[in-house]
Structures are given as structure tokens and as C-alpha cells.
Amino acid sequence: MEDQYQQDEQFPGWKYAFLQYAIALAFVLLLAGYWRLQIGQYRRYLDQAERNRTRNLPVIAPRGRILDREGRVFADNFPAFSVLLMRENAALLSPARSEGIARGLRLDPSEVARLVERTAKLPRFQPVVLKQAATMEDIAFVESHRVEYPELDLLQVQQRLYPKGQIAASLLGYVGEVSEEMIAAPGSLYRPGDVVGKSGIEGFYNSILVGRDGMRRVIVNSHGQEVGSLTTINALPGNDLRLTIDLDLQMVAEAALGESPGAVVALDPRSGEVLALVSHPSFDPNEFAHRVGRETWQQLTTDPMKPLLNKAIQSHLAPGSVFKIFTAVTALETGTVTPDYTVHCPGAVTIYGHMYKDWVWDKGRGHGSVDFHRAIVISCDVYFYTLGKLLGIDKIAFFAKRLGLGARTGIDLPNESSGLIPSPEWAQKVLKRKWYAGETISVAIGQGAVAVTPLQIAYAIGGIVSGGVFRRPHLAFRDQLLALGMKPPDEEDRRFPLAGATVETVSKGMWGAVNEGGTGGSARSPGLDISGKTGTAQVVSASLKDSGGKKAEFRNNAWFVGYAPSHEPEIVVSALVLQGEHSAVAAPVVRDVIKAYYDKKASRVAPARVEQMQTKVLSQVMELRQLVPLKAGTP
Amino acid sequence: MQKATSLRDLDWVLIGLALTLAAIGVVEIYSTTAHSALAAQYKKQILWILLGFVLALVVSQIDYHIILEQTPWLYVLSVLALAGLLVGGRSVAGARRWMHLGGLTFQVSEMVKLVIILLVAGYFADKRSRYVTWGGLVKLGALVGLPAVLVALEPDLGTALTFIPIAVAGVFLAGIRARQVAVLCLLGLLALPVGWHFLRPYQRERMMSFVRLTHDTQGSSYQVTQTKIAIGSGGFWGKGIGNGTQSRLGFIPVSHADSIFAALAEEQGFVGTLFVLLLYLALLLRLVDGAQMAGDRAGAILLVGFAAVLFFQIAVNTGMMIGYLPVTGIPLPLMSQGGTSVLFTFVGLGLALSVKVRQFVN
């Protein structure tokens, strides 16, 4: 064997040279390739490597809390998770990926696609919120699909929490995802997925409550998991907002109105501070804290009782006999009659050839001889029909508007209704017809086209009994707004000085209505100096009502406005009970609130108990939120 | 021919080149796996290198003719082992590449590589004609093809392909007519569609993404993109040991094994790339030089075959990192983490040393 190999001739030398040159050439090509990447495109690849390893995560600023006047919490935050879509490597998702993500997070695939498309133009480093209030399943999906979907990440956010549920919900409003219009608005700093106040206080004072989000630059691995942190821009929390609302009064007002649809407003006429503001039926703002479920939304928007409407400031309805106070003031201020002016009430009166019935007509009697004071006490329609005829619509409308009706009060809540004080000009302009003299007679007792809000009634009556000083109702303390650099609304307190005698006469009338066996007797409370005026407003004409039988929607709306004490009142409360049929159901609501106001003033025991109860409720809610991940649509 | 050789007569330059490359590999393995679950890998690698080095010295002391005589039964053993793997092998990550011996795993195809080198060298050792015959080509093709197909079925197409340059190198040295080359090339082209049919979906995906027919930023072109980012971001001087974000944060897959060169490029920059490629080049040129001086044809083919398989692996591995070639699982000889690969590369080196120390002296 050995010999055989040794005798072998060698292979030709050129073959080795060829091999060596071939190898060397290959290495030159390789080196050229590495040169191109490492020297030629160094910057570009360095950028990409940097983008790979870093991720910009927003640090969500907690929204300011909303507190009552004593610092008790109406709206707070609790930690939750949002699912983010990181877009550093690709602004758009392929349809398959988008669908996979939608399926994993149980979102509507078309919604995800739309969101991605909508946000394609935003800077790549800004992540997009795919889903708020991630459930345990969502979090598990993101964590277990880090490899498949590295573009998903979780962000700890501050979820809005309303520990008191439906209490003051209409007033507080709710938060939700910022709308596209808001994002597009000039000077807007909002990004899709940002949470903003949508209505109520949350909406009106959004700029105070909203914080400024920070940013964290972190190092991530290829699975998107955070392995280190580079820089942090701290989030600026939103400012807390203290309201003029007194939680104790609010709770009492909520309870007093109970299940009945309607509204309650309690004001301090000396300052315009709103002490309580209730609208029923209401809603649970916690359900809006993330995307509200379709079912819930449907239910809220189709409910005939309009839970999303803040009836205290938005429902404008005929005030009924409450309006007699305005007719009375007009009559006295214009000197049309004096307090000793007397009318005989046989139960009805014929004016302009039409018979106007008094509310006692159905009882088969009249009020007999009635003077000014008595007319207010027993709410004699015939007396005020007569005054209406004497005054005419122009004077009534002029005074009603000066006394705070027919225009927005300027409360710091969005979408306040202005109500309506009809006039011949209004008829001409809106109805394109002449004003009928007979309409004046109806207006004089608060029927016809007159429309007011419960807030306006409390505001106007409070202003009248305070001698014509109308303090703009407000929920945020002026000093606080100034300290936060926000200019309080322009509409200032208004003055329309009334003669002392006028104020005295109508006040006494309202005191009598409650305390002299008048129509407001159910507002009477021993030891309390409560005055007030009832109102029962027909929703439909009497004849239609008779034919309609006892249909709920044809039932009269019940009004009551009360205040205490009778001189220089500290609190004025209006209550509206929709379909309450009789004003006697509204009066006790007002009485309860005023009583609570004085009880609280007299002792500090009650609030402590209430606070205790609330703390318990709060802790229960917190527990619930942590244990059971919120699902859209579940109560 | 001397009966015994002293260690002093070995080609220590060759050994030095190999050990330097292996040492650089260890540093990179350490750098990319530090503080991870694989942090102890570099120690294992050192042990394998030391074991390989000793084996290389031992093999260098054996006359390669004696080893060549063992080819027939080594070949049979190889084929049986490969077939056995396919039948009874434990599947790891979808492939049956490893044989389990005690607590160790052993990649059979790495050993088969050396057997193929022996086979080709032995095959042409006693051929005297200037050109290979068609019959000879078919016979060689069948002998090399059988284990190659078995390896490809594991599936490990990359390693199966490494057998081809060995045969090509042998045929080239032994001599082949231009007409035969042309016919072979034509046949190869015709076989391409058939071959495509046998590819697995992921292999097709790699080919497709290589020729830019599909572009999935998360799939196989993702791998190439990330590897290029790693290499490119290394720049001229590199980011420094332990600072390669791409390799350390998991953007390049198996940065301590198949992708170690990308990790090196990221951390050591073009300077490191150049240095390592020059070391490999020197190693290869020296092996081919040695072939020219070899005592006989068998020795020459042994050296050139070993150089061919190394060259193929180096070129494919470093070439696919920068998108020159489609992605395939081929380790970088001497540097990539992996016991069997290191061990048999050193055994191959021992064979080369054995040839060199017995080279023709005039």
C-alpha cells in the first residue's frame, strides 16, 4: 500500500493556484459586502438597532380627583392595564396580523383595522391604545404572544373610578376616549386613545382635571420585554377639583327623589354655590370609564326617561304654578295692583270669551274672595288669570327674563338649556303667527309655552327672595379656578333690585303656602322656617288628558321650590318630579334637603356617619374592581 | 516516509490559526450569552476545544494512510448511523440530527463530513487517468449522495450540501472534461424544479424571501433584516464586547451559534470582521498550499477536501448573514458554539496535520 501511494504523481500546480485565487476572490467579495453594511450604511443600521432596542412608553398621568366641598371623593382613579400597539417597526399591520390580534383581544377586526389606518400618520414612536381596561385574558394573551406579536405591549394606566356609582352621576359626567374631532381640533395635544371628560364636570373642567402624560424610554429585548430603562419624563398629574357640592346634601337629595324621574337642585342664594344637583334616572359613570358596551349604550340612549340627560339643567318644562311668583312680582313691581287687591274666585273665570278653570273647579267649588297673599298661599288660578289679563304678556315676559328665566344661568356645566319665556316677538319669529291674548292668561299661571329648568327655578326664586340679587350658580370655587390659572366664566352675578315691599309680600305668600295650610303644606317641618311654592304642570291639555285616562306620560309634572329661612335665605331648593301628578310629591323632597342642611349645621354627627358608610362602599368597590376585571356592558 | 513524527514537526502556524479563531469564538459566545440562561456555554466550548486540540495532536501522529484504510467500515457505520437516526432518532426542534450517547448529544452528520473527505480521497488515490469517467462520476455521486440524502432528510439541508464541495474538489483535482462540466451543470439546472418539490415549507420560504418574492417582516426575512442591522450597526470599530444590543437582546437568533459572526461584526465592527476573515483566509490558503506539497494524491485530496468543506461553511455562513445567500443552518467552523462541530473540525485539522507532516520532501 505505502509504495503505491508514494509513486503517485502530483496534481498539476495550476489547480492549486486556481483554488487559492478562487478562495481569495470569495473573501474579497465577502469583505466588500461587510464593508458596504458596516461602513457604507452604518448610520442607517445604527438607527434601526437603536429603534429596535428602545421603546417609548407613555407614562399616563392620573386625572385629577373630583371632591365635594369637604374633600370627600367623587371621582378617583385605580390602576388598570391598556393594550398598546407599538408602531416603531411598522405603521401598518398586515390584515392577517390585525385579525389575529383582534381575535386574541376579542375586538372587532374592522375596528382594529380602522384604528390602525387612522393612526398611520402619527409619529411612529407614539403607541396606539388598542384596548382599555384589559381583562385578565387580554393580559395573558399579550404576555403569551410576545414572540408572535411583539408589537403588542401592556401599559399601566389610571382607570377612572366613581366610588359612589350613580350618586351625582349626571353632574360629574363621565370620561371616554377622545373623539376624532377633538384630536383634529387646532392646538390639540390629544392622541387616539387618550381619555378625556365627555360630559358634566369631567367635560367642563377637563383642562383642569387632565394631566400631562410623561414618556419613558426603555430598553426592550426582541420579545418586547422591558430589560432596562433609559430616560423618564415624569407625568404631570391632573389637578384635583373641589366642588361646591355637599356630599351629605347630595345623598339626601338623591334619596329623597328616590326612584322617581326628575331633578333636585340646591343652591346657596348668597353665593350661587350649588350644594346638590340630582337628576334621575341616572347612570353608572364607571361603565364609561373604558369603552362603554354597545348594549349599555343602547339602553341608555333609548330609555324614554333619558338617563344621560341632566334634567336639572337640561329639561325645560312648564313650571306650572311656581310661575305665579313671577307674575306676582311683575304685578307688584309695575304697580298694577297692590297687596290688598282682591278677586272673587268662583272656581273659573271667563276672559276673552273663554272659560279658564281654577284647579279647584274639579272639586266643585271656588276659592271665594282672595287677596294677594291668599292667592299665593292657596295658588288661586283665577286670581293670576286676572293679573295676567291686567299685565299683558310684554310686562310678564320682561320681568320673567329679568328675574332669571328664559336664559342660561351660566352654571359651569356643559349644554345648559335656556328655557323659554314666550312673547309676541317669539311667536312671530318662531311660530310665524300672531300672539293670542288668551295665551297670556295661560302663561300667567306657568302653562303654555313657558319652559324652565329646575336650576333656573332655584336660581330665580333664590334671587327674588334675596331682594333681586342673582348669584351665578357654580360648582367650582372661584378662588380655586383662579389659583389653577383658569378664568372663571364671564357671566357674573346679576342684580335687578326689587322693592322691599314686593319681596316681603311674595316671601310672606310663600311662607304661608307652606305654613298656613297652603298648597305647600307637605314641605312643612316643625322648627324649620321653610317657605315655598308648588307647581303642577300639565303635560297635555285637560281634554286630552281626560280621554287618555291614566297614561303615565300624560300625568302632570310636579314642581316645588322652597327656601329657608324666610329672611335672607341660606338655601333654596327646587325639585321636579316628572309625571309626579301632584306637587305634593315634590314638596317633601325639598323639605328633606333643607332639613338635612339644618341638621348638619346643628351637629357634626350626621356627616361622620355618612362618611363611614361611604368608606365602606368605596372599599367594596375597589375590591370588586380588582377581583373581577371589568367587562364592557356588565353592570 | 518517517515512521514516527515529533510534535515539533507539526504545522504550528495552522494550529495557531485554528486556536486563535476558536478563542475569538469563545469570547463572542461569552459576550452574547452572559447573564442569560446559556451563560455557561463558553466554558463547555473551551472544554470541547481543548478536547479537539488533543484529538488533533493524536490524529496527527497516525499515518493518514492507515486512516484511509478504515474508510469502508467507517462509511458503512456512517450510513447505518444516519439511517438509524431517521428511524429511531429523538426529534429535537423538529429535526433528527442528534444521537444521544449517555448524557451527551452527538451530531452524526459532522462526523460523516470527515468520512466523506476520506472517501473522496481514497476514491481518487489510485485513479491514474487524466479525467474522471462518467462511470466514475456516477459511482462517486452515489457514494456521496446516499449519506447526503439521509442528512437532508433529517432535515439538515445545510450540512447535506457541505458534502458536495468535497466531491467537487476531488473531481476538480482528479480532472474533469469541460464537456462533462457542462452536462453536469445542465443536469443540475433540470433537477432544480424537482429539488424544489422536495423542499420543506420553511425551506421554500427561506428561498422565496431570499429572492425577495415574499416579504414578511416577522418571518425569515426578519431574520436577515435583523442580522444585517446587527452587522451594519457595528460600524468600523464595533460596539465593544458585551454591548451588542442586537445579539444580546435576542434580535438575532442563536447569536452564540450559527449567527456568531453577526454578533462579532456588531461588537467588533469591520475591524473584527476583517481580522477574522483574514485568519480564515490564511488557514484555507495554507491548507491548499499544503496539498501542493502533499506526499501523494490521497493526501492532497484530504487537505483540499478539508479546505473545501471549511471554505463552503465559512462562505455560506458569513454570506447569508449579509443576504448574499439564503438562510440555512450551517455553523461557522471553529467559532460557532457546538461540541460536535468543534470536535470534528479539530479532528479534520489533525488529519491535515498528519498529511502535512508526511509531505513530500525532496
pLDDT digits (tens, 9 = 90+) for A252-272: 999 999 888 999 999 999 999
Q: Which of A435-439, B5-9, B241-245 has the highest mean pLDDT?
A: A435-439
| CA–CA distance, A399 with A392 (Å, rounded to integer) | 12
Q: Does A44 touch chain B (CB under 8 A)?
A: yes
User: Residue A5 is nearest to which of B226, B296, B307, comparing CB atoms?
Assistant: B296
- The dihedral formed by the CA atoms of B107, B109, B113 and B119, expressed in degrees to the nearest 10: 130
Q: Is the pLDDT of residue B1 over 50?
A: no
Longest dimension (CA), chain A: 153
Question: Taking CB atoms and an 8 Å limit, are A227 and B288 in contact across chains?
Answer: no
Residues B205, B220 contacting (CB under 8 angstroms) = yes
Interface of A with B in 69-108 (CB under 8 A): 89-90
pLDDT of residue A5: 40
Mean pLDDT for all residues in chain A:
85
* Cell 306637587, located at residue: A583
What's the CA gap between A263 and A417, in Å, rounded?
Answer: 14
Report the C-alpha gap between B91 and B202 in whole angstroms.
Answer: 17
Kindly report, residue by residue over A16-67, the tens digit of the pLDDT.
Answer: 999 999 999 999 999 999 999 999 999 999 888 888 888 778 888 889 999 9
| Residue A628 predicted with pLDDT over 50 | no
Report long-range pairs for A393-398 (Cβ below 8 Å, ≥24 apart): A393/A422, A393/A423, A393/A424, A393/A435, A393/A439, A393/A440, A393/A443, A394/A423, A394/A424, A395/A330, A395/A334, A395/A336, A396/A326, A396/A327, A396/A330, A396/A440, A396/A443, A396/A444, A397/A421, A397/A422, A397/A423, A398/A330
End-to-end CA distance of chain B: 12
Rounded Cα gap, residues B155 and B161, in angstroms: 12
Give the C-alpha separation, B265 to A31, whole Å: 11
**Portion 395-414 of A in contact with B at CB < 8 A:** none
Whole-number pLDDT of residue A90: 65
Angstroms from A155 CA to nearest CA on chain B: 21
- Residue A549 banded pLDDT, cuts 50, 70, 90: low
Q: Which has the higher per-residue pLDDT, A558 or A485?
A: A558
From A19, which residue of chain B is nearest by alpha-carbon distance?
B288
C-alpha distances out from residue A609 to A255, A594, A597, A616, B148, Å: 16, 19, 15, 11, 87
Beta strands in A538-623 (DSSP E): 557-564, 571-577
Contact B249 A220 (CB under 8 A): yes
Judge: A90–B232 Cβ closer than 8 Å, yes or no: no
Give A-chain residues touching B322 at CB under 8 angstroms.
30, 33-34, 36-37
B39-68: average pLDDT: 92
Is A225 touching B (CB cutoff 8 A)? Answer: no
Interface test with B, best of A1, A3, A5 (most B CBs within 10 A): A5
Q: Do B285 and A24 touch (CB under 8 A)?
A: yes
CA distance B231 to chain A (A): 6
Q: Is the pLDDT of residue A462 over 90?
A: yes
* Amino acid in position A126: Q
B86: domain range?
7-357
Bridge partners, A153 (sequence order):
A84
Cα A83 from chain centre: 27
Pairwise CB contact (< 8 Å): A52 & B245:
yes
Task: Give me the percent of chain A exceeding a pLDDT of 70.
Answer: 89
**B85 inside domain:** yes
d(CA B222, CA B225): 5
Contact B42, B33 (CB under 8 A): yes
Give the distance from residue B71's alpha carbon to the nearest chain A alpha carbon, in angstroms: 14
CA A187/CA A172 separation, integer angstroms: 26
CA dist B46 to A609, B19, B43, B111, Å? 75, 11, 5, 20
Rounded average pLDDT over A114-137: 79
Residue A98's CB is within 10 A of a number of other CB atoms, namely: 21
Q: Is the pLDDT of residue A2 over 50?
A: no
Q: For residue range B297-313, what is the model confidence (pLDDT) as tens digits?
A: 899 999 999 999 999 99
Of B233, B285, B300, the CB nearest to A23: B285
CA dist A197 and A190 (Å) reads 12
List the single best residue of A7, A8, A222, A230 to mutate versus B (max B Cβ within 10 A).
Answer: A8
Spatial CB neighbours of A556, under 8 Å, sequence gap ≥ 6 = A320, A536, A537, A538, A539, A579, A580, A581, A582
Alpha-carbon distance of A193 to A175, in angstroms, equals: 12
**CB distance A42–B232 less than 8 Å?**
yes
Cβ–Cβ below 8 Å for B226 and A222: yes
Cα separation of B320 and B137, whole Å? 30
- Beta-carbon contacts of B114 under 8 Å, excluding residues fewer than 6 positions away, are B344, B347, B348, B351
pLDDT in tens, A201-259: 999 999 899 888 888 888 887 777 777 888 888 888 899 999 999 999 999 999 999 88
Write out chain A residues lying below 8 Å of B2, CB-based. Answer: none
User: In order of start, what are the domains of chain A with their CATH numbers?
Assistant: 54-242 (3.90.1310.10), 247-289+311-602 (3.40.710.10)
Alpha-carbon distance values, A33 to A30, A288, B184, B231, B325 (Å) = 5, 57, 30, 10, 12
Q: Decide if A16 touches B, using CB distance below 8 A.
A: yes
Q: Does A295 score more than 90 pLDDT? A: no
- Is residue A3 very low, low, confident or very high in pLDDT (cuts 50, 70, 90)? very low
Q: Which of A173-182, A533-542, B165-174 has the lowest mean pLDDT?
A: A533-542
Say if residues A189 and A196 touch (Cβ distance below 8 Å). no
Best of A45, A88, A152 to disrupt the B interface by mutation (most B CBs within 10 Å)? A45
C-alpha A579/C-alpha A555 separation (Å) is 5
Model confidence pLDDT, tens digit, residues A311-366 = 999 988 999 999 999 999 999 999 999 999 999 988 889 888 888 888 888 888 88
Between chains, do B233 and A220 touch, taking CB under 8 Å as contact? no
pLDDT digits (tens, 9 = 90+) for A361-398: 888 888 889 999 999 999 999 999 999 999 999 999 99
| Residues 6 or more apart in contact with residue A484 via CB below 8 angstroms | A208, A239
Nearest CA in chain B to A33: B322
Q: Do B232 and A41 touch (CB under 8 A)?
A: yes
Of B30-39, B78-87, B287-296, B326-335, least confident by mean pLDDT is B30-39
Is the pLDDT at A523 greater than 90, yes or no? no
What's the number of domains chain B is made of?
1
Contacts (Cβ under 8 Å, ≥6 apart) of A58: A126, A127, A155, A213, A214, A215, A216
What single string gives the DSSP state of each residue in A42-54? Answer: HHHHHHHHHHHHE
Contact residues on chain A for B232, CB-CB shorter than 8 A: 37-38, 41-42, 44-46, 48-49
Predicted pLDDT at B246: 84
The alpha-carbon gap from A46 to the nearest alpha carbon of chain B, in Å, equals 4
Q: Which residues of chain B neighbour A42 with C-beta distances below 8 Å?
A: 232-233, 235-236
Q: For strands A494-495 and A469-470, give the pairing.
A: antiparallel
> What is residue A208's three-state secondary structure?
helix
> For B93-129, what is each residue's pLDDT tens digit?
666 777 776 666 778 888 999 999 999 999 988 777 7
Question: First-to-last CA distance in chain A?
Answer: 94
Judge whether residue A615 has pLDDT over 60: no
Averaged pLDDT for residues A138-164: 85
Other beta carbons less than 10 A from residue A14's beta carbon: 8
Say if residues A429 and A471 touch (Cβ distance below 8 Å): no
Kindly indicate the confidence band of residue A89, based on its pLDDT and cuts at 50, 70 and 90.
low
Task: Output phi, psi for A369, to 5 deg.
Answer: -80, 125
* Angstrom distances, CA of residue A240 to CA of A209, A233, A348, B265: 6, 21, 57, 54
With a cut of 70, say whether residue A169 has pLDDT above it. yes
Q: Is A555 helix (H, G, I), strand (E, B) or coil?
A: coil
> With 90 as the cut, is the pLDDT of residue A545 above it?
no
Q: Do A27 and B281 touch (CB under 8 A)?
A: yes
Please indicate whether, in this complex, the C-beta atoms of A52 and B281 are within 8 angstroms of each other.
Answer: no
B292 Cα to chain A: minimum distance (Å)? 7
For the cut 50, the answer to whether the pLDDT of residue A629 exceeds it is no
In chain A, which residues have their Cβ closer than 8 Å to the Cβ of B272?
A: none
DSSP state of A212: B
DSSP B163-228: HHHHHHHHHHHH---HHHHHHHHHHHHHHHHHHHHHS-HHHHHHHHHHTTS---TTSHHHHHHHHH
Element housing A442 (H / E) = helix A437-444
Please report where in the chains the cell 319665556 appears, as a residue: A421
Closest partner CB to A45 (pick from B172, B232, B315):
B232
SS3 A264: strand
- Tell me how many degrees the CA angle A353-A359-A363 measures, rounded to the nearest 5: 110
pLDDT exceeds 80 at position B198:
no
- What pLDDT score does A111 carry? 81
Q: Give the Cα separation of A529 and A525 in Å (integer).
A: 8
What is the predicted pLDDT for the residue at B272?
95
Grid cell in block for residue A51 = 429603534
B2 belongs to a structural domain: no
In a mutational test of the A interface, the residue from B218, B243, B246 whose CB has the highest number of chain A CBs within 10 Å is B218
Does pLDDT of A310 surpass 60? yes
CA–CA dist A77, A625 (Å, integer):
11
Residue B247, SS3 per DSSP: helix
Best of A25, A38, A45, A101 to substitute, by most chain B Cβ atoms within 10 angstroms, is A38
Percentage of chain B modeled with pLDDT above 90: 48
The pLDDT tens digits for B68-80 are 999 999 999 999 9
Q: Does this model's pTM top 0.90?
A: no
Best interface-test mutation with A: which of B233, B276, B287 has the largest number of A CBs within 10 A?
Answer: B233
